Amino acid sequence: MQLLLFNAFNGLIQGVFYALMALGLALILSLNSVINMAHGGFLVIGAYLAYTLSPYLGFWGALIVGPLLAGVIGLAVERGLIRPIYKRSDPLYSLLLTFGLALIIEDLTRTIWGAQGLPLEVPDVINSPVSETYFFITGYRLFVIGITAAAAIGLYLLLRYTLLGIRIRAGTSDLETTAALGVNIYKLRALNFGFGCLFAGLAGVLAAGVLGLTPPMGNSLIMPSFVAIIIGGVGSLFGAVLGGLLIGLAAGIVTTYYPAASEAVIYLMMLIVLAVRPRGLLGEEGLFE
């Protein structure tokens, strides 16, 4: 029983991380209508930049600057590569393009930083368990939860109360009308893509605290995030967070009883959700069909 509780709680913590990844992906999917296969690439960019910067800025500085730079690179990529293909009706072209981009990013990362795994040192303050019994609750994991919560709440406030946020939401539900009302949707979409990449970069730095840094590290994290979005419901940012938590929890519970299925269970959940409630738990009907 204690093991189950531990694993369930542990799964939730892990779910927070999926949620953070999913938030960025969901932003880009909603407004830019881009299935961003390069999301893992931006994650890696953020992490490696933070690694390079941390000797100069410290961990904390790198944690802020790394993701910001990933966001800036995202802006540039949107401007140069993504913008020309918005008018293609089929999202498959964006998939092919971002897939190519993901290959390029992984390869450039390997060329610049090398294939050898690199350690990102985490400050000692947060690098140990909070209590002896609940050893799996480490300062670092609490920190990740805090950052994710702050990012999610910040995003919520932005979308809810700022002009930019209202425009992003309007664009998500009806892009053409929003454009007709005089909103510069190109700028809007560019900013949104940049935000998404910033989130990816942030997830990257946080991941680098528990994982080794390698050029392909983003690849294995991207699919659970897509699953989180689908389970939570496309078009709902809160859904993405919920989806992330749920798959983490499910994986945690299953691992207690039948560890061999702990990876498969998130796909099984997605299958069931799609079969019973296609738009996801909190999704709106009709989006991306």
> Which tokens go with 40?
């893992």
Burial of 210 (0-12, 13-18, 19+ CB in 10 A): middle
Nearer to another protein, 84 or 154 (CB): 84
Per-position b or e across 17-37, b if 16+ CB within 10 A of its CB = bbbbbbbbbbbbbbbbbbbbb
Give the containing element (helix H, strand E) for 142: helix 139-161
Nearer to another protein, 75 or 158 (CB): 75
Nearer to another protein, 116 or 182 (CB): 116
Nearer to another protein, 112 or 157 (CB): 112
Query: 238 near 78, Cβ under 8 Å?
Result: no
Rounded CA separation 281/277 (Å): 7
Query: 250 near 268, Cβ under 8 Å?
Result: no
Nearer to another protein, 188 or 227 (CB): 227
Nearer to another protein, 118 or 149 (CB): 118
Q: Calculate the alpha carbon distances from 34 to 40, 82, 87, 179, 231 in Å.
A: 14, 8, 12, 18, 18
- Amino acid identity, position 97: L
Number of Cβ within a 10 Å radius of residue 83: 15
> Which tokens go with 131?
């209590």
Q: What is the dihedral of CA 33, 35, 36, 40, to 10 degrees?
A: 150
Nearer to another protein, 241 or 254 (CB): 254
